[in-house]
Amino acid sequence: MCLSDPQCCLASYSKGASTCRIDTSERCCGETETLDEWRFIQRHSYHNCTINLKEVAYNKPAEQSSVYSAGCSALRAVDGNVNSFMHTNIEQSPYWIVDLGKIYQIKRIEILNRIQGSKTTGERLRDLDIMIGSSHNEMQICAHYVGPAQLSDHLLFTCGHVECARYVKLRLTGTDYLHVAEVKVYAVNDSCN
């Protein structure tokens, strides 16, 4: 059943729904969540799993369309501190972009919204394009977030089949401030061709 899939390190089975769910994601090598009514099954080859994600955006060079004030530079979104944030001016399609330094096989992009402020502050994160690409001029949309987000929201995005990239860009499609506390980019390795 579940574990006949060679890509599967973990599977879960819901007795109530008689449904088998195969986990082929990087979670195979990470911690697993125990979900109500789902029973996890672990296969013997678990330790042979070779997927090993690493976060590759930390302290990498970043730019943004404008800077609201000196303490809100683009680097604030990759400084590992959830209390600091990047912050643009209010403008049409404000953006933030990070240079990972080389092409990575990107498996997951995580965005942590600001954790303090008003409800309105949190909800400015909406209608957001998450883009990746090999250069500033070759960015493709990886995911679109409609939102609006709430303060402290932790958003996760995957890019499907398009995943080899050096740059990750966030861009609001509307007119507003863009500000986020952290952006984390999880990659498999640098073996993209």
Structure tokens at 106: 């990107």
Positions in 99-158 near Ca ion (CB under 5 A): none
Residue 47, burial from CB neighbour count under 10 angstroms (0-12, 13-18, 19+) = exposed
Return the number of the residue (10 or 109) whose C-beta is nearest Ca ion: 109
Binding part of the chain for Ca ion, among 42-50, 66-74, 78-86, 114-122 by CB under 5 A, reads 78-86
Contact call for residues 62 and 97 (beta carbons, < 8 A): yes
Q: Is 81 in the site for Ca ion (CB under 5 A)?
A: yes
Q: How far is the CB of 77 from Ca ion (least distance, A)?
A: 6
Helix (H, G, I), strand (E, B) or coil at 89: coil
Q: Cβ atoms within 10 A of the Cβ of 65, count?
A: 17
Return the number of the residue (23 or 182) whose C-beta is nearest Ca ion: 182
Return the number of the residue (122 or 133) whose C-beta is nearest Ca ion: 122
Q: Is 84 in the site for Ca ion (CB under 5 A)?
A: yes
Q: What are the φ and ψ backbone dihedral angles of 89, each rounded to 5 degrees?
A: -75, 170
Q: How far is the CB of 103 from Ca ion (least distance, A)?
A: 25
When binding is defined by CB under 5 A, the residue of 5, 79, 110, 190 that contacts Ca ion is 79
Question: By CB under 5 A, how many residues form the interface with Ca ion?
Answer: 6
Helix (H, G, I), strand (E, B) or coil at 116: coil
Binding part of the chain for Ca ion, among 44-52, 83-91, 93-101, 156-164 by CB under 5 A, reads 83-91
Return the number of the residue (76 or 124) whose C-beta is nearest Ca ion: 76
Whose CB is nearest to Ca ion?
Answer: 84
- Residue 38 per-residue DSSP state: -
Q: What CA–CA distance (Å, rounded) separates 184 from 94?
A: 19
Q: What CA–CA distance (Å, rounded) separates 116 from 160?
A: 32
Binding region for Ca ion (CB under 5 A): 76, 79, 81, 84, 181-182
